[in-house]
Amino acid sequence: MSQQAISWSGVFPAVTTQFRSDYSLDLDATHAVMKNLVQDGVSGLVVCGSVGENTSLTTEEKVQIIEVAKDAAGGKVPVIAGVAEFTTAFASKMAREAQRVGVDGVMVMPALVYSSKPHETAAHFRSVAQSVDLPIMVYNNPPIYKNDVTPEILATLADCDNIVCFKDSSGDTRRFTDLRNAVGDRFVLFAGLDDVVVESVAMGAQGWISGMSNAFPREGETLFRLAKEQRFEEAMALYRWFMPLLHLDARPDLVQCIKLCEALLGRGSEITRPPRLALEGDDRRHVEQIVQQALDNRPALPDVGL
């Protein structure tokens, strides 16, 4: 399976998981959130990622969310399922469950909690990839997951045919250039951090796993397409408007921030499962002010074919 076997490009929101007030899983509300995103023109859905509160879900709940996502996507856009487990065996099992349900690919995080050595990190991804016949997106987010999937590590996985895509949330766009220098265009590149998306596209990113596009999907997809088409003057005007919102994706409490934005725009609930708690005080007012300012100055979007 080569990277030509996938056609992943554009904006894939890292979809939120919706809960009721008692923290039970609300599948109907989760379906509605996903369906609205598809109707707004996003290019794909990533479920059970960091923003989807993967580690707060049981295996059964993850499977249910994947099933709901497949239905909401209706075959119009690809569905990628996040795999974030403590051990390689658990990760491989979850990847097989996702394959059984029928996802288009899996986004695999390093083994959580354990700070692995480079060869251990590589072995984890290789083992999970070998356990399924699915396209694999390697997810690097060193600030959150404490394991850095460097270009050097990824280059050692170039022989693993179904590892086809690299999502980088390090914020260091030099990684994309270093990776290209090491292995050419072997891997499809995806931006993983909202507030460096235009820079990431300029460095070759074909897609964007986005947090804030949950709340502003049309703006997200438009920004990405402008950057991809090198319409940088138009892109920069939209980017400057968007940036205060995009910065929220780079905070430790990004899930609460994104869900609050969704709630303020009538797109979902702000309820998160503990240990994540609702934003309060200055933090809450800060997000509310950013959203209000964005709505007060919401730009007319250039035509990008949406």
Residue 257 lies in a domain: no
Could you tell me the pTM of the whole model? 0.95
DSSP codes of every residue in 146-173: S----HHHHHTTTT-TTEEEEEE-SS-T
Stretch 283-303: mean pLDDT, rounded?
97
Catalytic pick from 139, 228, 239, 259? 139
Residue 139 annotated as catalytic: yes
Residue 8 lies in a domain: yes
- Residue-wise pLDDT for 207-252, tens only, equals 999 999 999 999 999 999 999 999 999 999 999 999 999 999 999 9
Stretch 174-181: mean pLDDT, rounded?
95
Q: Rg of the chain's alpha carbons, rounded to an integer?
A: 18
Question: Is 209 labeled as ligand-binding?
Answer: yes
Residue 147 pLDDT greater than 70, yes or no: yes
Residues in the chain: 306
The CATH number that applies at residue 191 is: 3.20.20.70
Give the span between the Cα atoms of 118 and 144, in whole angstroms. Answer: 17
Residue 62's pLDDT band, with cuts at 50, 70 and 90, is: very high
Residue 100 pLDDT greater than 70, yes or no: yes
Cβ–Cβ < 8 Å for 94, 127: no
Stretch 82-108: mean pLDDT, rounded?
97
Residue 247 lies in a domain: no
Residue 246 lies in a domain: no
Residue 192 pLDDT greater than 90, yes or no: yes
Query: Domain count of the chain?
Result: 1
Residue 167 annotated as catalytic: yes
Residue 143's pLDDT band, with cuts at 50, 70 and 90, is: confident
Asked whether the bond before 217 is cis by omega within 30 degrees of 0, the reply is: no
Residue 299 lies in a domain: no
Q: What's residue 232's pLDDT?
A: 95
Residue 250 lies in a domain: no
Catalytic pick from 62, 70, 145, 167? 167
Stretch 104-126: mean pLDDT, rounded?
94
Range of the domain at 78: 3-232
CA 11 to chain centre: 9
